[in-house]
Amino acid sequence: MKTFFPLLLFSTLLSASDCCCLPLPNTLSMGPEFYHVHRTREGGTIQDGWICAGRASYDRIKSFGFYWGANALYGIGPLTGHTGKGAEIKSTFKDYQIEARLGYTFQTEAWIQPYLTPYVGIGYRKEYNNFHAPSPLILNFETRYPYAALGFLSGVNITPQISVGLNFKGEVMYEAKCAVTGDPEMDDFVLQVEDDWNYRVELPVIYRFCPCVGGFEAQVTPFYEFRHYGGRENYPFDFIDTKLMIWGFNLLLSYRF
């Protein structure tokens, strides 16, 4: 009994070598993404809430070949919390992102067919946090910035139909800005944000219905993401240091060809 589970695991991994071929390179994916946002600002303001999003992506991963890919995200949901002085606040959070990537894939056809795809990329993000009653200040904040991305995709085929992976991406912001609107006593204005870097870690699990002839796949991907918008002196107000800790998962239906 003590040796049964190690032998079972070994035989399962060994069966992956029976796969008749590498998966086809092109993948189109689409599906929902659900994530929890924990937003904090220097001074004690805290907000939490669940965001419902839609994600679409395309990836071309070919053994010892150039990689290219792109993805887009739109999410929306409510945040609730309190200011540093204890006042109740509520807002609607919106998340927009688009990204393109270019890299190279290293993969062997032996055993569990592991692959590693380092890449660079560029992207653009808009993040809205629009406050409403009973918040003390009914203002709209739009944080926007382009960024450079550096990361990798990776995976192994546990069986011909099931693969697991580890993905990492770092984002370096460039000239981030925050537009403030909705103040009835002041004109709209734009604050400069201190650029910082953000990161995201993913653990995808993929099930292939027809591993050697392409077709549909199902994917679930838990993830953790961190965003930091640095505080900076501005006029007429300073931008307050803001951090977002995000965790969740997506459920994607993919077509491989």
Report cis status (omega within 30 of 0) of the bond before 134.
yes
* pTM, entire model: 0.88
What's the rounded mean pLDDT across residues 75-80?
A: 98
How far apart CA 131 and CA 12 sit, in angstroms, is: 52
pLDDT in the model for residue 187: 87
- Is residue 6 within a helix (H) or strand (E), and if so which, with residue range? helix 4-15
CB atoms within 10 A of CB 146: 14
- Look at residue 22 and tell me if it is in a domain: no
Between the ranges 19-33, 111-125, 205-219, where is the mean pLDDT highest?
Answer: 111-125
Q: What is the pLDDT of residues 85-117, one digit of tens each?
A: 999 999 999 999 999 999 999 998 877 889 999
pLDDT in the model for residue 210: 80
Q: How far is CA 166 from CA 4, 61, 89, 204, in A?
A: 28, 15, 37, 7
Q: Does residue 76 register a pLDDT over 90?
A: yes
In the chain, % of residues over pLDDT 70: 91
In the chain, % of residues over pLDDT 90: 77
Within 8 A by CB and 6+ apart from 142, the residues are: 126, 127, 128, 178, 179, 181
- Look at residue 89 and tell me if it is in a domain: yes
pLDDT in the model for residue 87: 93
How sure is the predictor about 4, in pLDDT bands with cuts at 50, 70 and 90? very low
- Position with higher pLDDT, 165 vs 108: 165
CB atoms within 10 A of CB 71: 17
Q: Does residue 14 register a pLDDT over 70?
A: no
pLDDT in the model for residue 200: 98
- Look at residue 163 and tell me if it is in a domain: yes
Q: Are the beta carbons of 53 and 76 closer than 8 angstroms? A: yes
pLDDT in the model for residue 185: 81
Q: Does residue 135 register a pLDDT over 50?
A: yes
Within 8 A by CB and 6+ apart from 234, the residues are: 191, 192
Of the candidates 250, 248, 243, the one whose C-alpha atom is nearest the C-alpha of residue 35 is: 248
Q: How far is CA 184 from CA 50, 135, 140, 192, in A?
A: 30, 15, 12, 22
- Look at residue 20 and tell me if it is in a domain: no
pLDDT in the model for residue 183: 83
Q: Which structural domain, as residue segments, surrounds residue 97?
A: 4-15+27-256
Q: What is the pLDDT of residues 189-207, one digit of tens each?
A: 999 999 999 999 999 999 9
CATH number of the domain that 128 lies in? 2.40.128.100
**Strand, coil or helix: 83:** coil
pLDDT in the model for residue 2: 54
Q: Are the beta carbons of 95 and 70 closer than 8 angstroms? A: no
pLDDT in the model for residue 174: 96
What's the rounded mean pLDDT across residues 117-133?
A: 97
- Look at residue 108 and tell me if it is in a domain: yes
Q: Does residue 5 register a pLDDT over 50?
A: no
Strand-pair partners of 30: 56, 253
- Position with higher pLDDT, 193 vs 11: 193
φ, ψ of residue 57 in degrees (nearest 5): -150, 160
Number of domains in the chain: 1
Q: How far is CA 203 from CA 42, 114, 154, 242, in A?
A: 31, 15, 10, 26
- Look at residue 107 and tell me if it is in a domain: yes
- Position with higher pLDDT, 77 vs 113: 77
Mean pLDDT score across all residues of the chain: 91
- Look at residue 200 and tell me if it is in a domain: yes
Q: Are the beta carbons of 249 and 221 closer than 8 angstroms? A: yes
